[in-house]
């Protein structure tokens, strides 16, 4: 029998949307949007592992991204973490610096945020993104529809890549277990790009696709029901996020995916966040900042 325990390490009002999956629970976090310009939602939780647990298995069981779980737990062996090992579950998030309108996808943190129209909440899911050679484009676009049981038309590059591995792809891959789009796709106005399910859930939270955005199947099913055509989509790359909860300044640092970021830019992001709270006397410990930027745990750190 698995012996697991979970606990919250900080306060924050949030509710988990639960979707029944055979027989586990797929979790998508829904948060009430904070007031007064605050941008931190959720709370970091912990999980005590059983003997047979791996981080890959935990990521799929609890529907978090694999890379974010690795980053939040440096030094933990992902394949043999050991019975009784307590890991951090990265379930606190600084909202990206983007419009709180529709879908915001931050490729640097492998995460999607959905702001329902007219609501005062945000819903977030882990995602897989494009590989280095097939980068997910950074742009503003919109949702144009949904496709159930989509077929996949692989590009010439994709067919060549599969052929080199001994897998000869047809010009059109029909719906089914071999289709990387899964059972459902949200179509975007940007030609050739989709937000879709997957036949390989291990890839959620990693750089795995040819540029599309991958979700766990229960998550894409829920998201597609909520998101109407015309919903704006903002795809950004923000490896460092800064924000507030009350009088406390938080910084969240992720690995850079597609290009090295300018340290000066990071400093400007932080100074901008501090300047937004003119009544607050918070100052930045730049030495502490260096440590946060180098650790890149993806977990919000209070200054």
Residues carrying an active site annotation: 196, 212
- In sequence order, what are the residues at sequence separation of 6 or more whose Cβ sits closer than 8 angstroms to the Cβ of residue 226? 114, 116, 123
CA pair distance 76, 78, nearest whole angstrom: 6
HSE of 25, CA atoms in CB hemisphere, 13 A: 6
DSSP string of 71-138, one letter each residue: HHSTT--SS---TT-EEEE--EEEPPSS-SSEEEEEGGGTEEEEE-TT-SEEEEEE-BEE-GGGPPP-
Q: Which residue has the tokens 């990387």?
A: 180
- Separation CA 294–CA 232 (nearest Å): 33
């Amino acid at each position: 029998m698995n012996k697991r325990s979970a606990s919250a390490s900080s306060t924050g009002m949030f509710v988990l949307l639960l979707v029944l999956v055979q027989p586990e629970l797929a979790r998508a976090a829904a948060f009430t949007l904070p007031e007064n310009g605050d941008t931190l939602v959720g709370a970091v939780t912990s999980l005590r592992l059983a003997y047979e647990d791996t981080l890959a298995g935990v990521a799929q069981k609890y529907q978090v991204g694999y890379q974010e779980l690795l980053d939040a737990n440096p030094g933990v062996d992902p394949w043999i973490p050991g019975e009784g090992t307590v890991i951090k579950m990265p379930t606190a998030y600084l909202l990206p610096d983007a419009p709180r309108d529709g879908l915001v996808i931050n490729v640097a943190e492998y995460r999607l945020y959905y702001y329902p129209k007219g609501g005062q909440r945000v819903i977030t899911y882990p995602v897989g993104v494009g590989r280095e050679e097939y980068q997910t484009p950074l742009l503003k676009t919109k949702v144009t529809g949904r496709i159930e049981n989509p077929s996949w038309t692989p590009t010439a590059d994709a067919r060549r890549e599969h052929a080199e591995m001994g897998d000869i792809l047809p010009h059109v891959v029909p719906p089914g277990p071999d289709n990387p789009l899964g059972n459902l796709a949200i179509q975007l106005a940007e030609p050739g790009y989709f937000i879709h399910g997957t036949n390989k859930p291990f890839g959620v939270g990693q750089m795995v696709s040819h540029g599309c955005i991958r979700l766990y199947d229960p998550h894409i099913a829920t998201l597609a029901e909520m998101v109407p055509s015309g919903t704006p989509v903002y795809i950004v790359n923000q490896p460092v996020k800064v924000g507030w909860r009350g009088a406390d300044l938080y910084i969240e640092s992720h690995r850079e995916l597609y290009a090295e970021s300018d340290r000066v830019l990071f400093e400007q992001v932080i100074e901008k966040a501090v300047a937004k709270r003119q009544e607050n006397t918070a100052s930045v410990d730049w030495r502490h900042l260096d440590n946060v930027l180098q650790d890149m745990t993806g977990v919000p750190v209070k200054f």
